[in-house]
Structure 1
Amino acid sequence: MCGLLWDDVKCFFDLDLMGSLPDVRVPNASVEDWQSVLDLVAEKGWECQYSEGESVLPVPRAEAVLSRPANAQCPELRVWPTADVLAIFRFHADDEVDFDVDLRELQGQARLDVFCGFLREIGRRLGKPVLMDPEGDSGHPVLGFDVEADRVVVLADPLVR
């Protein structure tokens, strides 16, 4: 259990309020942080798939991915912390680890617990906050992993229609 109760936070998982693919990010990151995330995925044994365009490839080192030419397609890493929850990491920049989750997969207490556990694993590994913003509204996190509290916490007032 993650400590958050579904009834208290379900507004942050409402597709109409948040968009279906909210932005999840670790600000002030580095190439080393990206590599730590890749290492965590491997250590946890989470199913994953790395691709560049249509090509599925072995997961490279973060330094190699983040040093690609500016005009290259943005690679992505699909990670399944459980069979029915997908996070898609996109290697846009080395100073922010960012990924999307599909809120349609994160409905109910059991899925919330999986999501919070995933954020907690990343946050603990990096020793940094992991923040979830409404889709396309970066900089306004609604919940996230708090390093000092060592748990996922609510960061905004409940959203209403």
Structure 2
Amino acid sequence: MADLLWDDVSCFFDPDSVGLLPDVRVANTSVEDWQAVLDLVAEKGWKCQYSEGEAVLPVPRAEGVLSRPADAECPELRVWLSADVLAIFRFHAADEIDFDVDLRELQGQERLDVFCGFLREIGRRLGKPVLMDPEGDYGHPALGFDVEADQIVRLAGPQVR
């Protein structure tokens, strides 16, 4: 059974009302948590691409990428949850794992289920909430992985700009 029904949460996936790129995040993380996510991506066999600027490189250990100089370009890891659904992780800091998704890629129940499965995998691996905030509305999550409930839950009412 689906964590969320498309008809109940489609308002959170409307690019015109909540923005195109919502912020998905896990707070209070560490280098070890980042490494656990990198290991999860490898274990699940999700197609991915790590890059620093224009250079595509092998996926490094989290410790190496998070210890780069402060003025270095922010690396990113692109992870394809399916052929049509992409998550882009940016290695800003060890204390928060954050990534973007494009809401145009998350339309309908099937893609919602893929997205929820991804959030659940990360949340279970880390034992921490994974939250999705509307674009530009950090700290007001619309939905996320609830550790105690072990599922994705709705956290807010409909958001309209």
In the superposition, the TM-score normalised over structure 1's length comes to 0.98
CA root-mean-square deviation = 0.8
The aligned counterpart of 2:106 is 106
SS in 2 for 1:64: helix
The aligned counterpart of 1:122 is 122
The aligned counterpart of 1:65 is 65
Asked if structure 1 preserves the Cα contact closer than 8 Å seen for 2:52 and 2:73, the reply is yes
Structure 1 segments (4+ residues) deviating >3 Å:
none
SS in 2 for 1:116: helix
The aligned counterpart of 1:140 is 140
Asked if structure 1 preserves the Cα contact closer than 8 Å seen for 2:87 and 2:101, the reply is yes
Instruction: Quote the offset at 1:153 in angstroms.
Output: 0.2
Amino acid across the alignment from 1:12 = F
Instruction: Quote the offset at 1:158 in angstroms.
Output: 1.5
Q: Percent identity?
A: 83
Instruction: Quote the offset at 1:16 in angstroms.
Output: 1.5
Does residue 2 of structure 1 match 2:5? no
Asked if structure 2 preserves the Cα contact closer than 8 Å seen for 1:142 and 1:155, the reply is yes
| Cα offsets for 1:60-95 (capped at 9, x unmatched) | 000000000000000000000111100000000100
Instruction: Quote the offset at 1:160 in angstroms.
Output: 3.6
| Cα offsets for 1:13-35 (capped at 9, x unmatched) | 01022111100000001100000
Instruction: Quote the offset at 1:48 in angstroms.
Output: 0.1
SS in 2 for 1:21: coil
Does residue 93 of structure 1 match 2:93? yes
SS in 1 for 2:153: strand
Does residue 39 of structure 1 match 2:47? no
Asked if structure 2 preserves the Cα contact closer than 8 Å seen for 1:2 and 1:117, the reply is no
| Cα offsets for 1:27-63 (capped at 9, x unmatched) | 0011000000000000000000000000000000000
The aligned length equals: 161
In the superposition, the TM-score normalised over structure 2's length comes to 0.98
Instruction: Map residues 48-63 of structure 1 onto 2, 5 A cutoff.
Output: 48-63=48-63
The aligned counterpart of 2:22 is 22
Amino acid across the alignment from 1:140 = H
| Cα offsets for 1:103-153 (capped at 9, x unmatched) | 000000000000000000000000000000011221110000000000000
Extract unaligned runs of 5+ from structure 2. Answer: none
Amino acid across the alignment from 1:27 = A
The aligned counterpart of 2:152 is 152
